Amino acid sequence: MNHVLEIDSNWRRTIILRTDHTLWITGSGFEPNMDMRLEPVLFYSNVRKAILEGATSYGGVLILTSDGRLVAYSRPLLNAPHEFMEITGLRDIIDISAASQQVYVLTSSGDVYGWGAHAGIYLGVAHDDFWVYEPTFIASDIEKILRGRMFIKKDGTLWIWGAIADIVDFKNSLGIDGGGTLRGDLVSYGTLPVAVLSNVHSADGISTHIIALDNTGGIYTWGSNFYGQLGDGSRLDRLTPTFIPPNLFH
């Protein structure tokens, strides 16, 4: 496909936003009559940004339209079919992002709201609900919201909440490496966002490790390093951001 602006994907499907602001989708698990698509099909028009997310249903899509509306393709009930539902109550949305089961939106005033699975720690709000169904205020003075549970404030500091999990390798009955399995918290930042790094331009991360780029081009990584995924020349886990020297790049 040509004229592509942005993409997002997970283990079952891919969404493709083209420069004409049409959203295309390929993969499995969407209704109606979209159990499996091997080639992209038109999904929605007038789209500014779209992300795959699991906060409103497992494997849904969140869409920010060109005219500033927020539309979720979700299940209203657990076993119900997916449907398009507009999310109201938020104004002047300029960006959206997601973690594994959380969704975050950024307004033009720099406020961040979120909803989804919380379990007392993962959404970034100070209450004990397991699941937050309505957009809930999290923080202000935000410049960027990032994939995962992170944002960058206007002063350039990177803020994180929740936990980074340890990972351990395992072998199946044939003695073949079977990947890794999570094994508790390696770094726990707690319920509310905390500052972990300054002068940050961008960052990305999943539940096991994080990589950040500062405004001078420096790279920092931390978290689980069982497979050497931190790129620091070792397999040592890192509990704090660790600078990656330029001489390690070949």
Token pair recorded at residue 185: 């918290």
pLDDT of residue 57: 43
pLDDT of residue 117: 79
The arithmetic mean of pLDDT across residues 100-115, rounded, is 91
pLDDT of residue 58: 47
Q: Bridge-partner residues for 250, per DSSP?
A: none
Of the candidates 145, 134, 161, 135, the one whose C-alpha atom is nearest the C-alpha of residue 110 is 145
pLDDT of residue 116: 84
Q: How far apart are CA 176 and CA 179, in angstroms?
A: 9
Please report where in the chains the tokens 């780029």 appear, as a residue: 213
What is the average pLDDT score of the chain? 86
Condensed to tens digits (0 to 9), the pLDDT of residues 62-107 reads 999 999 999 988 776 666 777 888 988 888 999 999 887 888 999 9
pLDDT of residue 78: 62
Q: Is the pLDDT of residue 47 over 90?
A: yes
- SS3 category, 248: helix
The arithmetic mean of pLDDT across residues 211-223, rounded, is 95
Phi, psi torsion values for 125, nearest 5 degrees = -120, 160
pLDDT category of residue 126 using cuts at 50, 70 and 90? confident
pLDDT category of residue 178 using cuts at 50, 70 and 90? low
Token pair recorded at residue 73: 């393709």
Exposure pattern of 74-94 as b/e (b: 16+ CB <10 Å)? Answer: bbeeeeeebeeeebeeeeebe
Condensed to tens digits (0 to 9), the pLDDT of residues 135-162 reads 899 999 999 999 888 999 999 999 999 8
Which residues are within 8 A (CB) of 153 and not within 5 positions of it... i.e. 6 or more apart?
139, 141, 142, 143, 159, 195
Q: How far apart are CA 234 and CA 106, in angstroms?
A: 37
pLDDT category of residue 109 using cuts at 50, 70 and 90? very high
Q: Is the pLDDT of residue 32 over 60?
A: no
Q: How far apart are CA 196 and CA 20, in angstroms?
A: 38
Token pair recorded at residue 29: 């698990």
- Kind of pairing, strands 70-74 and 47-53? unpaired
The arithmetic mean of pLDDT across residues 217-222, rounded, is 96
Look up residue 175 and give its DSSP letter.
S
pLDDT of residue 177: 57
pLDDT category of residue 238 using cuts at 50, 70 and 90? very high
